[in-house]
Chains A and B, each alone.
Chain A
Amino acid sequence: MDFQLALLIDAVVAGLLLGGFYAAVTAGITIAFGILDIVNIAHPAFIILGSYIAYIVNTSFGIDPILVSILMLPAFYALGAAVYQVYYLSFEKRGQDALRGLAFFFGLLFITEVGLILTFGVDYRYVNAAYIGGTVQLGPMNLPLRMLVPFVVSMILIGALQYFLARTFTGRAIMAVAQDQFALRLMAADPVRIKRIAFGISIGVAAMAGAFLIVIQPVEPSVGREYIGRVFAICVLGGMGSLPGTVIAAMLLGVVESITSTFYGPSWAPAVAFGFLLLTLAFRPAGILGR
Protein backbone atom coordinates (compact mmCIF):
# COMPACT_ATOMS: atom_id res chain seq x y z
CA MET A 1 0.00 0.00 0.00
CA ASP A 2 1.06 3.57 -0.71
CA PHE A 3 2.95 4.92 2.27
CA GLN A 4 1.24 8.33 2.21
CA LEU A 5 -2.17 6.72 2.05
CA ALA A 6 -1.35 4.43 4.97
CA LEU A 7 -0.25 7.47 6.96
CA LEU A 8 -3.47 9.25 6.08
CA ILE A 9 -5.65 6.31 7.12
CA ASP A 10 -3.72 6.00 10.36
CA ALA A 11 -4.15 9.70 10.99
CA VAL A 12 -7.90 9.56 10.33
CA VAL A 13 -8.42 6.60 12.64
CA ALA A 14 -6.29 8.18 15.35
CA GLY A 15 -8.26 11.40 14.86
CA LEU A 16 -11.59 9.62 15.27
CA LEU A 17 -10.41 8.00 18.50
CA LEU A 18 -9.10 11.34 19.73
CA GLY A 19 -12.36 13.00 18.65
CA GLY A 20 -14.40 10.58 20.74
CA PHE A 21 -12.36 11.62 23.74
CA TYR A 22 -12.72 15.31 22.81
CA ALA A 23 -16.49 14.78 22.86
CA ALA A 24 -16.26 13.69 26.50
CA VAL A 25 -14.04 16.68 27.30
CA THR A 26 -16.58 19.00 25.68
CA ALA A 27 -19.79 17.39 26.99
CA GLY A 28 -19.51 19.38 30.21
CA ILE A 29 -19.18 22.70 28.38
CA THR A 30 -22.04 21.73 26.08
CA ILE A 31 -24.18 21.57 29.20
CA ALA A 32 -22.73 24.61 30.98
CA PHE A 33 -22.29 26.98 28.04
CA GLY A 34 -24.61 25.52 25.42
CA ILE A 35 -27.59 24.80 27.63
CA LEU A 36 -27.18 26.90 30.79
CA ASP A 37 -25.48 29.87 29.10
CA ILE A 38 -22.75 29.97 31.74
CA VAL A 39 -19.46 30.89 30.09
CA ASN A 40 -17.32 28.63 32.22
CA ILE A 41 -13.87 29.23 30.78
CA ALA A 42 -12.48 27.47 33.86
CA HIS A 43 -13.77 24.17 32.44
CA PRO A 44 -10.26 22.96 31.47
CA ALA A 45 -9.06 23.61 35.01
CA PHE A 46 -11.55 21.02 36.29
CA ILE A 47 -10.37 18.61 33.59
CA ILE A 48 -6.76 18.92 34.71
CA LEU A 49 -7.82 18.69 38.35
CA GLY A 50 -9.49 15.39 37.43
CA SER A 51 -6.27 14.24 35.79
CA TYR A 52 -4.26 14.97 38.92
CA ILE A 53 -6.74 13.22 41.23
CA ALA A 54 -6.59 10.19 38.94
CA TYR A 55 -2.80 10.43 39.09
CA ILE A 56 -2.67 10.64 42.87
CA VAL A 57 -5.11 7.79 43.47
CA ASN A 58 -3.47 5.67 40.79
CA THR A 59 0.08 6.08 42.05
CA SER A 60 -0.88 5.76 45.74
CA PHE A 61 -3.35 2.89 45.60
CA GLY A 62 -2.88 1.46 42.13
CA ILE A 63 -6.54 1.89 41.25
CA ASP A 64 -7.36 1.99 37.54
CA PRO A 65 -7.78 5.60 36.35
CA ILE A 66 -11.08 4.86 34.59
CA LEU A 67 -12.44 3.42 37.82
CA VAL A 68 -11.14 6.48 39.67
CA SER A 69 -13.04 8.69 37.25
CA ILE A 70 -16.30 7.07 38.34
CA LEU A 71 -15.38 7.11 42.01
CA MET A 72 -14.57 10.82 42.04
CA LEU A 73 -17.76 11.80 40.20
CA PRO A 74 -19.75 12.61 43.39
CA ALA A 75 -16.97 14.81 44.76
CA PHE A 76 -16.70 16.83 41.56
CA TYR A 77 -20.47 17.01 41.25
CA ALA A 78 -20.52 18.61 44.70
CA LEU A 79 -17.67 20.94 43.74
CA GLY A 80 -19.54 22.01 40.62
CA ALA A 81 -22.76 22.60 42.55
CA ALA A 82 -20.82 24.72 45.05
CA VAL A 83 -19.15 26.77 42.31
CA TYR A 84 -22.54 27.38 40.71
CA GLN A 85 -23.98 28.50 44.03
CA VAL A 86 -21.21 31.11 44.38
CA TYR A 87 -21.68 32.16 40.76
CA TYR A 88 -25.43 32.42 41.19
CA LEU A 89 -25.30 34.44 44.40
CA SER A 90 -22.51 36.74 43.22
CA PHE A 91 -23.46 37.34 39.60
CA GLU A 92 -26.69 35.83 38.26
CA LYS A 93 -28.88 36.86 41.15
CA ARG A 94 -27.47 40.38 41.42
CA GLY A 95 -27.85 40.81 37.67
CA GLN A 96 -24.16 41.69 37.54
CA ASP A 97 -22.80 42.21 34.09
CA ALA A 98 -21.29 39.24 32.28
CA LEU A 99 -17.91 40.93 32.49
CA ARG A 100 -17.44 40.01 36.13
CA GLY A 101 -18.74 36.48 35.73
CA LEU A 102 -16.14 35.91 33.04
CA ALA A 103 -13.41 37.39 35.21
CA PHE A 104 -14.52 35.10 38.03
CA PHE A 105 -14.08 31.96 35.95
CA PHE A 106 -10.85 33.28 34.51
CA GLY A 107 -9.60 33.71 38.06
CA LEU A 108 -10.63 30.13 38.94
CA LEU A 109 -8.80 28.81 35.88
CA PHE A 110 -5.74 30.72 36.84
CA ILE A 111 -5.76 29.82 40.52
CA THR A 112 -6.13 26.13 39.72
CA GLU A 113 -3.28 26.14 37.23
CA VAL A 114 -0.88 28.06 39.44
CA GLY A 115 -1.97 26.02 42.47
CA LEU A 116 -1.15 22.79 40.64
CA ILE A 117 2.20 24.18 39.52
CA LEU A 118 3.05 25.12 43.10
CA THR A 119 2.03 21.68 44.40
CA PHE A 120 3.27 19.36 41.68
CA GLY A 121 5.70 21.45 39.64
CA VAL A 122 5.71 21.56 35.88
CA ASP A 123 6.85 17.94 35.38
CA TYR A 124 4.68 15.66 33.28
CA ARG A 125 2.74 13.12 35.35
CA TYR A 126 1.37 9.83 34.10
CA VAL A 127 -0.66 6.84 35.32
CA ASN A 128 -0.16 3.09 35.18
CA ALA A 129 -2.77 0.65 33.93
CA ALA A 130 -2.50 -2.79 32.36
CA TYR A 131 -3.74 -1.63 28.97
CA ILE A 132 -1.48 1.41 28.58
CA GLY A 133 1.11 0.39 26.02
CA GLY A 134 -1.00 -2.46 24.61
CA THR A 135 -2.46 -2.46 21.11
CA VAL A 136 -5.27 -4.15 19.25
CA GLN A 137 -4.74 -5.38 15.70
CA LEU A 138 -7.58 -4.33 13.42
CA GLY A 139 -6.91 -5.32 9.81
CA PRO A 140 -3.69 -3.60 8.81
CA MET A 141 -3.86 -1.15 11.70
CA ASN A 142 -2.51 -1.11 15.20
CA LEU A 143 -4.92 0.62 17.56
CA PRO A 144 -3.24 1.67 20.79
CA LEU A 145 -5.36 0.72 23.78
CA ARG A 146 -4.47 3.94 25.60
CA MET A 147 -6.55 5.64 22.87
CA LEU A 148 -9.17 2.97 22.36
CA VAL A 149 -10.17 2.57 26.01
CA PRO A 150 -10.82 6.31 26.63
CA PHE A 151 -12.68 6.42 23.32
CA VAL A 152 -15.03 3.59 24.28
CA VAL A 153 -15.60 4.94 27.80
CA SER A 154 -16.21 8.43 26.38
CA MET A 155 -18.85 7.12 24.00
CA ILE A 156 -20.59 5.25 26.83
CA LEU A 157 -20.49 8.42 28.94
CA ILE A 158 -21.98 10.54 26.14
CA GLY A 159 -24.67 7.93 25.53
CA ALA A 160 -25.58 7.91 29.19
CA LEU A 161 -25.71 11.72 29.29
CA GLN A 162 -27.89 11.88 26.20
CA TYR A 163 -30.25 9.31 27.73
CA PHE A 164 -30.34 11.31 30.95
CA LEU A 165 -31.11 14.61 29.20
CA ALA A 166 -33.73 13.20 26.84
CA ARG A 167 -35.49 10.64 29.00
CA THR A 168 -35.42 11.59 32.67
CA PHE A 169 -37.49 14.25 34.38
CA THR A 170 -34.44 16.15 35.66
CA GLY A 171 -32.77 15.89 32.26
CA ARG A 172 -35.76 17.38 30.52
CA ALA A 173 -35.95 20.12 33.08
CA ILE A 174 -32.31 20.95 32.31
CA MET A 175 -33.08 21.16 28.61
CA ALA A 176 -36.09 23.37 29.41
CA VAL A 177 -34.13 25.72 31.66
CA ALA A 178 -32.48 27.34 28.68
CA GLN A 179 -35.46 27.59 26.37
CA ASP A 180 -38.51 28.01 28.43
CA GLN A 181 -38.56 29.19 32.02
CA PHE A 182 -42.35 29.09 31.83
CA ALA A 183 -42.51 25.40 30.95
CA LEU A 184 -40.10 24.81 33.78
CA ARG A 185 -42.44 26.45 36.21
CA LEU A 186 -45.26 24.26 34.92
CA MET A 187 -43.07 21.28 35.73
CA ALA A 188 -42.86 22.74 39.25
CA ALA A 189 -39.08 22.80 39.10
CA ASP A 190 -36.90 25.47 40.70
CA PRO A 191 -34.66 26.89 37.93
CA VAL A 192 -31.78 27.59 40.29
CA ARG A 193 -31.84 24.04 41.63
CA ILE A 194 -31.99 22.60 38.12
CA LYS A 195 -29.06 24.74 37.01
CA ARG A 196 -27.09 23.75 40.09
CA ILE A 197 -27.63 20.07 39.29
CA ALA A 198 -26.71 20.61 35.65
CA PHE A 199 -23.56 22.53 36.49
CA GLY A 200 -22.57 19.85 38.98
CA ILE A 201 -22.94 17.26 36.25
CA SER A 202 -20.95 19.44 33.89
CA ILE A 203 -18.01 19.62 36.30
CA GLY A 204 -18.32 15.92 37.17
CA VAL A 205 -18.07 15.03 33.49
CA ALA A 206 -15.10 17.39 33.08
CA ALA A 207 -13.22 15.60 35.85
CA MET A 208 -14.01 12.19 34.36
CA ALA A 209 -12.65 13.41 31.03
CA GLY A 210 -9.55 14.51 32.92
CA ALA A 211 -8.97 10.94 34.07
CA PHE A 212 -9.30 9.78 30.45
CA LEU A 213 -6.84 12.47 29.41
CA ILE A 214 -4.06 11.21 31.66
CA VAL A 215 -4.56 7.72 30.22
CA ILE A 216 -3.99 9.12 26.72
CA GLN A 217 -1.02 11.34 27.49
CA PRO A 218 1.12 12.54 30.38
CA VAL A 219 -0.27 15.72 31.93
CA GLU A 220 1.22 18.91 33.36
CA PRO A 221 -0.73 21.89 34.73
CA SER A 222 -0.66 24.11 31.64
CA VAL A 223 -1.97 21.36 29.31
CA GLY A 224 -5.42 22.67 30.22
CA ARG A 225 -4.89 25.83 28.22
CA GLU A 226 -4.88 23.87 24.97
CA TYR A 227 -8.33 22.62 25.85
CA ILE A 228 -9.95 26.04 26.22
CA GLY A 229 -9.97 26.54 22.48
CA ARG A 230 -10.84 22.93 21.78
CA VAL A 231 -13.88 22.70 24.00
CA PHE A 232 -15.38 25.99 22.88
CA ALA A 233 -14.61 25.34 19.22
CA ILE A 234 -16.35 21.97 19.45
CA CYS A 235 -19.27 23.31 21.46
CA VAL A 236 -19.97 26.15 19.01
CA LEU A 237 -19.32 24.02 15.94
CA GLY A 238 -21.61 21.34 17.35
CA GLY A 239 -24.43 23.87 17.52
CA MET A 240 -24.34 24.79 21.26
CA GLY A 241 -26.12 22.49 23.60
CA SER A 242 -26.49 19.44 21.39
CA LEU A 243 -24.61 16.28 22.42
CA PRO A 244 -24.88 14.56 19.02
CA GLY A 245 -23.62 17.78 17.42
CA THR A 246 -20.78 17.80 19.94
CA VAL A 247 -19.73 14.27 18.98
CA ILE A 248 -19.71 15.08 15.26
CA ALA A 249 -17.79 18.33 15.74
CA ALA A 250 -15.34 16.65 18.13
CA MET A 251 -14.56 13.90 15.63
CA LEU A 252 -14.15 16.44 12.85
CA LEU A 253 -11.70 18.42 14.93
CA GLY A 254 -9.88 15.27 16.05
CA VAL A 255 -9.35 14.15 12.47
CA VAL A 256 -8.19 17.57 11.24
CA GLU A 257 -5.79 17.92 14.19
CA SER A 258 -4.45 14.43 13.70
CA ILE A 259 -3.85 14.95 9.98
CA THR A 260 -2.21 18.30 10.67
CA SER A 261 0.22 16.89 13.19
CA THR A 262 0.99 13.86 10.99
CA PHE A 263 1.79 15.89 7.91
CA TYR A 264 2.90 19.27 9.27
CA GLY A 265 4.26 18.43 12.71
CA PRO A 266 2.69 18.46 16.16
CA SER A 267 3.76 22.03 16.89
CA TRP A 268 0.97 23.22 14.57
CA ALA A 269 -1.80 21.17 16.21
CA PRO A 270 -2.84 23.72 18.90
CA ALA A 271 -3.55 26.33 16.24
CA VAL A 272 -5.98 24.01 14.44
CA ALA A 273 -8.63 24.09 17.16
CA PHE A 274 -8.37 27.82 17.61
CA GLY A 275 -8.36 28.45 13.89
CA PHE A 276 -11.48 26.31 13.73
CA LEU A 277 -13.05 28.34 16.50
CA LEU A 278 -12.25 31.71 14.94
CA LEU A 279 -13.56 30.59 11.56
CA THR A 280 -16.69 29.09 13.09
CA LEU A 281 -17.44 32.24 15.04
CA ALA A 282 -16.82 34.41 12.02
CA PHE A 283 -18.77 32.46 9.43
CA ARG A 284 -20.96 29.82 11.04
CA PRO A 285 -21.89 30.89 14.56
CA ALA A 286 -24.94 28.62 14.55
CA GLY A 287 -22.70 25.53 14.17
CA ILE A 288 -22.46 22.89 11.45
CA LEU A 289 -25.89 21.52 12.17
CA GLY A 290 -27.41 24.94 12.74
CA ARG A 291 -29.92 26.72 10.57
Chain B
Amino acid sequence: MRSWTFFLIAAAVGAVVFFGAHLVVQNDYVYFAGYTVLQFVVLATAWNILGGYCGYVNFGSAAFFALGAYSTVALHKLAPMPIPVLILIGGIVSGVVGLGMGYLTLRLRGAFFAIATLALAVVLQTLIVNWDYVGGSRGAYVIRPATMQILGFTINYITYLFLVMLTLAVLAITAARAIERSRLGFGFATIRDDELAAEASGVPTLRLKLIATTLSGGLMGMAGAPFPYYIGFLEPSSAFGLAYAVNSIAMPMIGGTTMWAGPLIGALLLGTLQQIATVTISSAVNLLIVGLLLVVFVIIAPKGIVGLVQDRRRARQKP
Protein backbone atom coordinates (compact mmCIF):
# COMPACT_ATOMS: atom_id res chain seq x y z
CA MET B 1 0.00 0.00 0.00
CA ARG B 2 2.82 2.39 0.88
CA SER B 3 4.57 1.72 -2.41
CA TRP B 4 1.31 2.64 -4.05
CA THR B 5 1.09 6.06 -2.47
CA PHE B 6 4.73 6.59 -3.28
CA PHE B 7 4.13 5.69 -6.88
CA LEU B 8 1.16 7.99 -7.27
CA ILE B 9 3.15 10.87 -5.84
CA ALA B 10 6.07 10.07 -8.15
CA ALA B 11 3.72 9.96 -11.10
CA ALA B 12 2.20 13.31 -10.16
CA VAL B 13 5.62 14.88 -9.72
CA GLY B 14 6.73 13.52 -13.07
CA ALA B 15 3.63 14.93 -14.67
CA VAL B 16 4.14 18.37 -13.14
CA VAL B 17 7.78 18.44 -14.23
CA PHE B 18 6.86 17.39 -17.76
CA PHE B 19 4.02 19.88 -17.92
CA GLY B 20 6.13 22.62 -16.37
CA ALA B 21 8.83 22.15 -18.99
CA HIS B 22 6.21 22.75 -21.61
CA LEU B 23 5.05 25.91 -19.90
CA VAL B 24 8.58 27.26 -19.92
CA VAL B 25 8.86 26.79 -23.65
CA GLN B 26 5.95 28.96 -24.75
CA ASN B 27 5.23 27.21 -28.01
CA ASP B 28 2.22 25.19 -29.13
CA TYR B 29 4.39 22.83 -31.14
CA VAL B 30 5.77 21.45 -27.91
CA TYR B 31 2.25 20.43 -26.89
CA PHE B 32 1.65 18.78 -30.25
CA ALA B 33 4.90 16.86 -30.00
CA GLY B 34 4.38 16.03 -26.32
CA TYR B 35 0.91 14.68 -27.06
CA THR B 36 2.31 12.28 -29.64
CA VAL B 37 5.03 11.03 -27.31
CA LEU B 38 2.53 10.48 -24.48
CA GLN B 39 0.18 8.71 -26.87
CA PHE B 40 3.01 6.29 -27.60
CA VAL B 41 3.59 5.82 -23.89
CA VAL B 42 -0.02 4.64 -23.60
CA LEU B 43 0.17 2.43 -26.71
CA ALA B 44 3.47 0.84 -25.71
CA THR B 45 2.28 0.20 -22.15
CA ALA B 46 -0.97 -1.29 -23.45
CA TRP B 47 0.85 -3.54 -25.92
CA ASN B 48 3.17 -4.72 -23.19
CA ILE B 49 0.33 -5.94 -20.94
CA LEU B 50 -0.42 -8.66 -23.47
CA GLY B 51 2.92 -8.89 -25.29
CA GLY B 52 5.42 -8.43 -22.49
CA TYR B 53 3.55 -9.95 -19.55
CA CYS B 54 1.75 -12.83 -21.31
CA GLY B 55 4.00 -13.32 -24.34
CA TYR B 56 1.29 -12.93 -26.97
CA VAL B 57 2.26 -10.68 -29.90
CA ASN B 58 -0.31 -8.19 -31.12
CA PHE B 59 0.46 -6.76 -34.56
CA GLY B 60 -2.89 -5.01 -34.73
CA SER B 61 -2.25 -2.08 -32.36
CA ALA B 62 -3.22 0.28 -35.17
CA ALA B 63 -6.61 -1.44 -35.42
CA PHE B 64 -7.42 -0.96 -31.74
CA PHE B 65 -6.15 2.61 -31.85
CA ALA B 66 -8.21 3.37 -34.96
CA LEU B 67 -11.31 1.80 -33.39
CA GLY B 68 -11.06 4.29 -30.55
CA ALA B 69 -10.51 7.16 -32.97
CA TYR B 70 -13.40 6.16 -35.20
CA SER B 71 -15.83 5.64 -32.34
CA THR B 72 -15.10 9.29 -31.51
CA VAL B 73 -15.79 10.32 -35.12
CA ALA B 74 -19.06 8.39 -35.13
CA LEU B 75 -20.17 9.84 -31.81
CA HIS B 76 -19.02 13.31 -32.73
CA LYS B 77 -21.48 13.28 -35.64
CA LEU B 78 -24.22 12.00 -33.37
CA ALA B 79 -23.85 14.38 -30.44
CA PRO B 80 -20.84 16.30 -29.10
CA MET B 81 -19.51 14.79 -25.90
CA PRO B 82 -16.73 15.65 -23.48
CA ILE B 83 -13.44 13.93 -24.27
CA PRO B 84 -13.25 11.82 -21.09
CA VAL B 85 -16.59 10.24 -22.05
CA LEU B 86 -15.32 9.61 -25.57
CA ILE B 87 -12.20 7.99 -24.13
CA LEU B 88 -14.30 5.71 -21.99
CA ILE B 89 -16.47 4.68 -24.94
CA GLY B 90 -13.48 4.22 -27.25
CA GLY B 91 -11.88 2.05 -24.60
CA ILE B 92 -14.98 -0.09 -24.24
CA VAL B 93 -15.36 -0.57 -28.01
CA SER B 94 -11.73 -1.62 -28.45
CA GLY B 95 -11.81 -3.73 -25.32
CA VAL B 96 -14.85 -5.64 -26.52
CA VAL B 97 -13.28 -6.22 -29.94
CA GLY B 98 -10.12 -7.42 -28.20
CA LEU B 99 -12.16 -9.81 -26.07
CA GLY B 100 -14.03 -11.17 -29.10
CA MET B 101 -10.89 -11.72 -31.09
CA GLY B 102 -9.13 -13.28 -28.15
CA TYR B 103 -12.03 -15.63 -27.67
CA LEU B 104 -11.82 -16.76 -31.31
CA THR B 105 -8.07 -17.30 -31.48
CA LEU B 106 -6.46 -17.55 -28.03
CA ARG B 107 -7.14 -21.25 -27.68
CA LEU B 108 -4.69 -21.78 -30.54
CA ARG B 109 -0.92 -21.43 -30.52
CA GLY B 110 0.50 -17.97 -30.00
CA ALA B 111 1.61 -17.64 -33.62
CA PHE B 112 -1.96 -17.91 -34.84
CA PHE B 113 -3.05 -15.16 -32.51
CA ALA B 114 -0.30 -12.92 -33.89
CA ILE B 115 -1.33 -13.62 -37.46
CA ALA B 116 -4.99 -13.03 -36.63
CA THR B 117 -4.17 -9.60 -35.22
CA LEU B 118 -2.51 -8.72 -38.52
CA ALA B 119 -5.72 -9.81 -40.18
CA LEU B 120 -7.90 -7.77 -37.86
CA ALA B 121 -6.22 -4.51 -38.86
CA VAL B 122 -6.95 -5.06 -42.53
CA VAL B 123 -10.54 -6.23 -41.99
CA LEU B 124 -11.32 -3.17 -39.86
CA GLN B 125 -9.61 -0.82 -42.28
CA THR B 126 -11.70 -2.25 -45.12
CA LEU B 127 -14.87 -1.80 -43.07
CA ILE B 128 -14.01 1.82 -42.27
CA VAL B 129 -13.05 2.60 -45.88
CA ASN B 130 -16.46 1.35 -46.96
CA TRP B 131 -18.41 3.06 -44.18
CA ASP B 132 -19.52 6.44 -45.50
CA TYR B 133 -21.00 7.64 -42.21
CA VAL B 134 -17.51 8.09 -40.76
CA GLY B 135 -16.15 9.53 -44.00
CA GLY B 136 -15.13 6.32 -45.79
CA SER B 137 -11.88 6.53 -47.71
CA ARG B 138 -12.21 10.34 -48.04
CA GLY B 139 -11.85 10.91 -44.32
CA ALA B 140 -13.78 13.02 -41.82
CA TYR B 141 -13.32 16.49 -40.35
CA VAL B 142 -13.61 16.95 -36.62
CA ILE B 143 -13.59 20.62 -35.68
CA ARG B 144 -11.45 21.32 -32.64
CA PRO B 145 -12.66 24.11 -30.35
CA ALA B 146 -10.07 26.85 -29.86
CA THR B 147 -10.16 26.90 -26.07
CA MET B 148 -11.39 24.95 -23.11
CA GLN B 149 -12.64 25.93 -19.66
CA ILE B 150 -11.22 23.95 -16.75
CA LEU B 151 -11.88 24.98 -13.13
CA GLY B 152 -12.53 28.55 -14.23
CA PHE B 153 -9.30 28.74 -16.27
CA THR B 154 -9.41 29.18 -20.00
CA ILE B 155 -6.73 27.11 -21.67
CA ASN B 156 -5.69 26.40 -25.20
CA TYR B 157 -7.46 23.29 -26.52
CA ILE B 158 -4.23 21.59 -27.48
CA THR B 159 -3.00 22.14 -23.93
CA TYR B 160 -6.18 20.45 -22.76
CA LEU B 161 -5.61 17.48 -25.08
CA PHE B 162 -2.06 17.26 -23.85
CA LEU B 163 -3.26 17.15 -20.24
CA VAL B 164 -5.81 14.47 -21.09
CA MET B 165 -3.14 12.31 -22.70
CA LEU B 166 -0.81 12.91 -19.78
CA THR B 167 -3.49 11.67 -17.39
CA LEU B 168 -4.10 8.67 -19.58
CA ALA B 169 -0.39 7.86 -19.69
CA VAL B 170 -0.10 8.01 -15.89
CA LEU B 171 -3.21 5.85 -15.61
CA ALA B 172 -1.86 3.26 -18.05
CA ILE B 173 1.47 3.02 -16.27
CA THR B 174 -0.24 2.82 -12.89
CA ALA B 175 -2.41 -0.02 -14.18
CA ALA B 176 0.59 -1.85 -15.64
CA ARG B 177 2.53 -1.46 -12.41
CA ALA B 178 -0.41 -2.66 -10.34
CA ILE B 179 -0.80 -5.73 -12.55
CA GLU B 180 2.87 -6.59 -12.20
CA ARG B 181 2.59 -6.84 -8.42
CA SER B 182 -0.73 -8.63 -8.26
CA ARG B 183 -1.97 -12.20 -8.52
CA LEU B 184 -2.89 -11.33 -12.07
CA GLY B 185 0.69 -10.38 -12.86
CA PHE B 186 1.98 -13.69 -11.49
CA GLY B 187 -0.62 -15.48 -13.58
CA PHE B 188 0.38 -13.58 -16.72
CA ALA B 189 4.02 -14.51 -16.16
CA THR B 190 3.19 -18.22 -15.90
CA ILE B 191 1.46 -17.98 -19.29
CA ARG B 192 4.55 -16.42 -20.79
CA ASP B 193 6.80 -19.05 -19.20
CA ASP B 194 4.86 -22.28 -19.76
CA GLU B 195 1.14 -22.59 -20.33
CA LEU B 196 0.92 -26.32 -19.63
CA ALA B 197 2.66 -25.95 -16.29
CA ALA B 198 0.45 -22.93 -15.55
CA GLU B 199 -2.73 -24.95 -16.08
CA ALA B 200 -1.32 -27.79 -13.99
CA SER B 201 -0.75 -25.30 -11.18
CA GLY B 202 -4.36 -24.21 -11.38
CA VAL B 203 -3.97 -21.02 -13.44
CA PRO B 204 -7.04 -20.43 -15.63
CA THR B 205 -4.91 -19.48 -18.63
CA LEU B 206 -7.65 -18.77 -21.16
CA ARG B 207 -9.47 -16.44 -18.78
CA LEU B 208 -6.28 -14.56 -17.95
CA LYS B 209 -5.37 -14.22 -21.62
CA LEU B 210 -8.81 -12.80 -22.33
CA ILE B 211 -8.41 -10.31 -19.48
CA ALA B 212 -5.04 -9.24 -20.90
CA THR B 213 -6.39 -8.87 -24.44
CA THR B 214 -9.35 -6.84 -23.24
CA LEU B 215 -7.25 -4.55 -21.04
CA SER B 216 -4.60 -4.09 -23.69
CA GLY B 217 -7.10 -3.46 -26.51
CA GLY B 218 -9.15 -1.16 -24.32
CA LEU B 219 -6.17 1.01 -23.41
CA MET B 220 -5.20 1.29 -27.07
CA GLY B 221 -8.73 2.40 -27.91
CA MET B 222 -8.54 4.98 -25.13
CA ALA B 223 -5.32 6.31 -26.64
CA GLY B 224 -7.06 6.63 -30.00
CA ALA B 225 -10.26 8.29 -28.81
CA PRO B 226 -8.97 11.89 -28.53
CA PHE B 227 -6.94 11.54 -31.73
CA PRO B 228 -9.56 12.99 -34.16
CA TYR B 229 -9.63 16.20 -32.11
CA TYR B 230 -5.87 16.33 -32.14
CA ILE B 231 -5.46 15.75 -35.87
CA GLY B 232 -8.62 17.63 -36.98
CA PHE B 233 -9.04 15.50 -40.08
CA LEU B 234 -9.11 11.71 -39.77
CA GLU B 235 -8.66 9.38 -42.71
CA PRO B 236 -8.24 5.59 -42.61
CA SER B 237 -4.62 5.67 -43.73
CA SER B 238 -3.63 7.93 -40.83
CA ALA B 239 -5.72 6.14 -38.17
CA PHE B 240 -4.42 2.72 -39.28
CA GLY B 241 -0.91 4.13 -39.84
CA LEU B 242 2.07 1.78 -39.88
CA ALA B 243 3.75 3.92 -37.25
CA TYR B 244 1.33 2.70 -34.56
CA ALA B 245 1.83 -0.98 -35.25
CA VAL B 246 5.62 -0.82 -35.38
CA ASN B 247 6.10 1.64 -32.54
CA SER B 248 3.89 -0.15 -30.07
CA ILE B 249 6.01 -3.27 -30.60
CA ALA B 250 9.39 -1.60 -30.95
CA MET B 251 9.08 0.64 -27.89
CA PRO B 252 8.52 -2.13 -25.30
CA MET B 253 11.02 -4.43 -27.02
CA ILE B 254 13.71 -1.76 -26.92
CA GLY B 255 12.82 -0.52 -23.45
CA GLY B 256 12.33 -3.99 -21.97
CA THR B 257 9.18 -6.08 -21.75
CA THR B 258 9.15 -7.53 -18.25
CA MET B 259 8.58 -4.29 -16.35
CA TRP B 260 6.36 -1.21 -16.62
CA ALA B 261 9.41 1.02 -16.91
CA GLY B 262 10.45 -0.67 -20.16
CA PRO B 263 7.65 0.60 -22.42
CA LEU B 264 7.87 4.01 -20.71
CA ILE B 265 11.59 4.35 -21.40
CA GLY B 266 11.20 2.98 -24.93
CA ALA B 267 8.32 5.32 -25.73
CA LEU B 268 9.97 8.43 -24.30
CA LEU B 269 13.23 7.62 -26.09
CA LEU B 270 11.91 6.54 -29.48
CA GLY B 271 8.97 8.98 -29.39
CA THR B 272 11.22 11.97 -28.79
CA LEU B 273 13.76 10.71 -31.31
CA GLN B 274 11.03 10.46 -33.92
CA GLN B 275 9.68 13.91 -33.17
CA ILE B 276 13.14 15.30 -33.78
CA ALA B 277 13.78 13.12 -36.84
CA THR B 278 10.43 14.01 -38.42
CA VAL B 279 11.34 17.70 -38.29
CA THR B 280 14.97 17.34 -39.30
CA ILE B 281 14.93 14.41 -41.73
CA SER B 282 11.72 12.75 -42.94
CA SER B 283 9.02 10.60 -41.42
CA ALA B 284 9.84 7.61 -43.66
CA VAL B 285 13.46 7.66 -42.53
CA ASN B 286 12.53 7.73 -38.88
CA LEU B 287 10.26 4.71 -39.32
CA LEU B 288 13.18 2.94 -40.97
CA ILE B 289 15.30 3.78 -37.95
CA VAL B 290 12.65 2.33 -35.63
CA GLY B 291 12.51 -0.88 -37.69
CA LEU B 292 16.29 -1.22 -37.66
CA LEU B 293 16.50 -0.55 -33.92
CA LEU B 294 13.82 -3.18 -33.32
CA VAL B 295 15.72 -5.85 -35.25
CA VAL B 296 19.05 -4.94 -33.67
CA PHE B 297 17.60 -4.98 -30.16
CA VAL B 298 15.79 -8.32 -30.42
CA ILE B 299 19.00 -9.92 -31.68
CA ILE B 300 21.60 -8.24 -29.47
CA ALA B 301 19.72 -7.12 -26.34
CA PRO B 302 16.64 -9.31 -26.01
CA LYS B 303 15.87 -7.95 -22.55
CA GLY B 304 15.88 -4.34 -23.70
CA ILE B 305 17.33 -1.34 -21.92
CA VAL B 306 15.80 -2.30 -18.56
CA GLY B 307 17.37 -5.75 -18.89
CA LEU B 308 20.78 -4.26 -19.69
CA VAL B 309 20.60 -2.03 -16.62
CA GLN B 310 19.46 -4.90 -14.37
CA ASP B 311 22.23 -7.18 -15.65
CA ARG B 312 24.82 -4.53 -15.00
CA ARG B 313 23.51 -3.92 -11.50
CA ARG B 314 23.51 -7.65 -10.77
CA ALA B 315 27.06 -8.01 -12.10
CA ARG B 316 28.19 -5.23 -9.78
CA GLN B 317 26.60 -6.94 -6.75
CA LYS B 318 28.29 -10.25 -7.50
CA PRO B 319 31.89 -9.41 -8.36
Contacts and interface: CB of A to CB of B under 8 A. Distances in A.
Interface residues of B, number: 44
B119 A274 contact: yes
A270 B125 CA distance: 9
A248 B80 CA distance: 51
A183 B302 CA distance: 33
Interface string B81-108: 0000000000000000000010011001
Contacts of B294: 103, 106-107, 110
B59 A86 contact: no
Nearest to A90: B299
Nearest to A39: B111
B113 to A, nearest CB: 8
A114 B116 contact: no
B123 A275 contact: yes
A281 interface: yes
What size tier do the contact residues of chain A reach?
A: 35 or more
Of B55, B115, B302, the most chain A CB neighbours within 10 A belong to B115
Contacts of A107: 246, 250, 291-292, 294-295, 298
B22 interface: no
B123 A278 contact: yes
Contact of A103 (B57, B105, B137): B57
Interface stretch (A94-102, A127-135, A150-158): A94-102
A20 interface: no
A103 B192 contact: no
Chain A contact residues, majority secondary structure: helix
Contact of A97 (B119, B192, B284, B295): B192
Nearest to A112: B291
B259 interface: no
A271 B105 CA distance: 18
Interface stretch (B37-45, B126-134, B200-208, B210-218): B126-134
B112 A106 contact: no
Interface in B262-319: 284-285, 287-288, 290-292, 294-295, 298-299, 302
12 contacts: A33-B111, A100-B298, A103-B249, A103-B298, A110-B290, A111-B288, A111-B292, A118-B285, A267-B129, A273-B122, A275-B123, A285-B108
Given A104-B299, A107-B292, 17 more contacts: A99-B110, A102-B111, A103-B298, A106-B57, A107-B246, A111-B291, A111-B292, A114-B284, A118-B288, A228-B115, A232-B115, A271-B122, A274-B119, A277-B116, A281-B104, A281-B108, A282-B104
Interface of A: 33, 39, 41, 86, 90, 96-100, 102-104, 106-108, 110-111, 113-115, 117-118, 225-226, 228-229, 232-233, 236, 265, 267-268, 270-271, 273-275, 277-278, 281-282, 285
Going nearest first, the 9 A-B pairs with the smallest beta carbon separation are: A271-B126, A107-B295, A274-B119, A282-B104, A110-B291, A111-B291, A107-B294, A39-B111, A114-B288
